[in-house]
Amino acid sequence: MSQTKLFIDKFDEVIKPVLQVSDPRLEVIADRLKEMLTYNTRGGKLNRGVAVLDTVQYIIQQDSLPNADRLEHSAIVMGWCVEILQAFFLVADDIMDRSEMRRGQQCWYKKDNIGVMAVNDSFLIQSSIYSLLKQYFAKESWYIDVLHLFLEVSRNTEFGQAQDLLADQSPLEAFTMDRYSMIVEYKTAYYSFYLPVALALHITGRGSEEALAAAQDILLKIGHYFQVQDDYLDCYGDPSVIGKIGTDIQEKKCSWLFVTAASKCTTEQLSTLYTHYGKSDDHSVAIVKELYRTLDLQQCYLTYANSTYQEITAVIAECKVGLPKEIFQGFLDKIHKRSK
C-alpha cells in the first residue's frame, strides 16, 4: 500500500471526533462540517500531510525507535491536521482572490447555496484542527509545543497573506525581490514545508531547538523554490493539469515572474508592463505575456530552477545536526520539475 493511500484510508477515522456533538441540534452542522472537510481536503496532492508520515518513518528507521505503530498513527492524525489547515487557508484565499476553480473543481464558496457562508465554514475548518489535537494528543508531553507551533505558523501565514493582499494597494514600483521573498516565506514556506517536519520531530522526541532551527533553514529555502514554481505554473502551466486557471497577472500579484521581468526591462518595456499589469481585460493580459516571452522568462525560470536545486542540495549535504538528510532531499526531489 502506498503512503498516500494509507493516509487517505485513515481520513474518515481521523476526523470522526470532530463530527461528534453532544447537542443533537448541532447534528446538521456536523454533517455540513464532514462535507466541507471532505470536499476541501481530499482533492489535493496531500504532500504536506504525507510529509509528516514520511518524516516520522525516516526517523523511526534511522534511530530504531520503539512503538512504531503508535508513532505512525500519530503522524497520520497530525498530517491530516496539516491538510485541514491547508483547507482553511484555501477556502478563505479563494474568496479573497475571487477564484473559480481549485484542484479541478469549483471553489467551495462557488458551490450552490454556499456563497458567503464559506467565510464561517473556513472558521469551522480551522477549529477542527484544535479539536483533533486535543482529542488525540492532550496527554502527550509535546502537546503544548505542537499547539503553539500550529498557532505560530498560522499567524505567520496570515501575515504573508496580508502582505500579498496589500500588494493590490501598492504601486508596482514597490514590487521588489526582497518583498516577494518576504511574502513567500510567510505565506507559503512555514506551513507547507517547515510545519510538517517540525511536527514529525516533536512526535519522535527529536524537536530540540537546534534540530528545529536547522530544519527551518533548509525548508524555508525549499518553500521559496516551491512558490517560484507556483508563480511560473500560474502563467505557463496547463490548467487541466494544475487544476485552475492562472490569474496572477489580472490580480496584480507580486509574483516572481513580474519581479524578474521588471529587473530585465528597458525603460520602454517597463512602462508597458506597468500600464497593463493588474488589468483584467484579455488584451492587457496578452501584452504582459508577450513581454514575458520577449524577455525569455521561461529560460530564466529554468536557469533559476536548476541552480536553486543544486544550491539546496549542497545545503542539505552540509547539515550536521543528525537529522535524516533523506527528509529534505525527498521534499526537494518531489517538487523539482513538477508540472502541477
Q: Which residues are catalytic?
A: 45, 88, 93, 97, 102, 164, 187, 226, 230-231
Q: What cell was used for 125? A: 475548518
CA angle 85, 86, 92 (to 5 degrees): 95
Rounded CA-CA distance 126/290 in Å is 41
Q: Which residues pair with 102 in a beta bridge?
A: 105
Q: What single-letter amino acid sits at 190?
A: Y
Cβ-contact 272, 291 below 8 angstroms: yes
Residue with cell 469551522: 124
Rounded CA-CA distance 313/194 in Å is 17
Rounded CA-CA distance 149/116 in Å is 30
Rounded CA-CA distance 116/108 in Å is 10
